[in-house]
Amino acid sequence: MILLYLLYCVVVVSCEEIYENSTKICTTCTCSKSDDAQILTLNCTDRSLTHMWASWPPHNTTIRATFTRNNFTSLQKLPPTDASVEVVFSNCNIQYLYPGVFESTINLMYLDLSYNQLTAGDISSDNFRGPYSGTDPESIALEHLNLAYNKIHTLYKNVFQFLPKLKRLNLEGNDFVVLDVQTQAALGKVPGLLGLNLANNELTEVVPEAIEGLKCLVELDLSKNELDFVPSGLKALGPTLEVLKLDDNPIIELNEESFSDLDHLLQISANNLTKLKHIKSRTFSLTPSLTKLSLRNNPLLQDIDVEAFYSSPSLKEMYLNNNSLTALPYDLLQWSQLDTLEFNNNPLVCTCDLYDIAGALSGDITRNQDGPTCSDPATGQPLQVYSLTRDICEAKPMKAKRRLLRYHFSVPLAGLVAALMMGLFVSVGLGWNRYRRFVQNRNEPFVSHVLYSPITNTNARL
């Protein structure tokens, strides 16, 4: 009995040395409960913690704990509980996860490990498993895993094998240059994934093998990568993908192939595309379900083909702010179907098309308060698009005739000037050539002169 007691004391002391003393937990951190006492909220942000607490405060069904900006370095096993757990360990300088770190919290639902120092070798299936049942580990209930802004360049193929309920995975801001074979296999282990964030890596392509196993994926974020075209591999997500984010990529062109076979897309975000100049014909013709399109802050975007939205009956929201558009064709789309339209800060020229667009929009449409402006073609002064009058339409044919008249006069006049200049150059060349010949021969006898000699003439007569 004495031996057992001593052993118990050693274990207790060891635990107190490794874990924080939980009796002080609600003094060091902020503890609060919901009105029905079902949710315990524990805020331990910026408390200079280096070890986990030995146990949770008294709780019922849900624990929401935040440990942001501490210095754990190595994340120890979480205290045991049967409650549903949502926990945040962002900005904690974590470089190592203990094996079975979550095995005592099998009802862990939400885990944020963002902004730490984890590498591919620091995360494995042994970190994301439950307790052993016989010789095999059990799964855990994790649905949301945030690994953003670590140092991960690949995923080991079995890393998610004990996370069958994983719905959202955030890998933003890591070191992925390609989605290699191991990463492809790892993603194939979570077929129920609904949202995948691959933003702010260095991807130049997304191969179909990396995503074809994601049979339920609804949202994909590819922002801030090195994509120069919309990846053709996205066709593998055609049956399910609804939200696609492409912001901050050097995409050169959007065309009919960009979104082909993605006929369930509801939202496309393509903002800050620094190299995009044109949107080609039928670009959105194969996205019949598209309801929201954002094309903001594309500094080189000059025109959108009049047939770019061929057969787009569902579009409700359109954002075209801060581009270089000089015109919007009235036939571009069915303007009356829109609920929201923004196209401020474009160098638009006032035209009859803009007048007709303003008239087609319903009175309760959501607009920018300042309203878009266009440049008066006669004076260059800015005019409010929604205040244009029909004079713009009446003046348009006159301007067209004047342009046509200038064209008919300018083309023959340019030809005449060119012909005169050519004749002048030829004349100068010929004159210069004759002058050179004159200077060369001025001191020599003229070969055309005949010298008269009486002797020669007398001999000739004899």
Per-residue pLDDT reduced to its tens digit, 400-415: 444 444 444 454 555 6
pLDDT of residue 400: 40
**pLDDT surpassing 70 at residue 292:** yes
**Domains (range + CATH), the chain:** 27-167+187-203 (3.80.10.10)
Q: What is the pTM of this model?
A: 0.81
Q: What percent of the chain has pLDDT over 90?
A: 73
Per-residue pLDDT reduced to its tens digit, 47-97: 999 999 999 999 989 999 999 999 999 999 999 999 999 999 999 999 999
CA distance 73 to 429: 86
pLDDT of residue 416: 62
pLDDT of residue 412: 57
pLDDT of residue 395: 57
Best CA proximity match to 290, nearest among 308, 317, 322? 317
Q: Sorting pLDDT into bands at 50, 70 and 90, what band is 307? A: very high
**pLDDT surpassing 80 at residue 425:** no
Q: Is 409 left (phi over 0), alpha (psi -120 to 50) or beta?
A: alpha
Q: What's the start-to-end Cα distance of the chain, in Å?
A: 170
Residues with Cβ within 8 Å of 110's Cβ and at least 6 positions away in sequence, in order, are 85, 86, 87, 142, 143, 144
Q: Sorting pLDDT into bands at 50, 70 and 90, what band is 361? A: confident
β-strands 132-133, 136-137: how paired?
A: antiparallel
**pLDDT surpassing 80 at residue 135:** yes
CA distance 235 to 149: 28
Per-residue pLDDT reduced to its tens digit, 371-380: 799 999 888 8
Per-residue pLDDT reduced to its tens digit, 113-133: 999 999 999 999 999 999 999
Q: Mind giving me the DSSP string for 229-290?
A: S--GGGGGGTTT--EEE--S----EE-TTTTTT-TT--EEE----TT--EE-TTTTTT-TT-
CA distance 365 to 369: 12
Tokens for 126? 């042994």
| Contact (Cβ atoms closer than 8 angstroms) between residue 28 and residue 47 | yes
| Contact (Cβ atoms closer than 8 angstroms) between residue 326 and residue 303 | yes
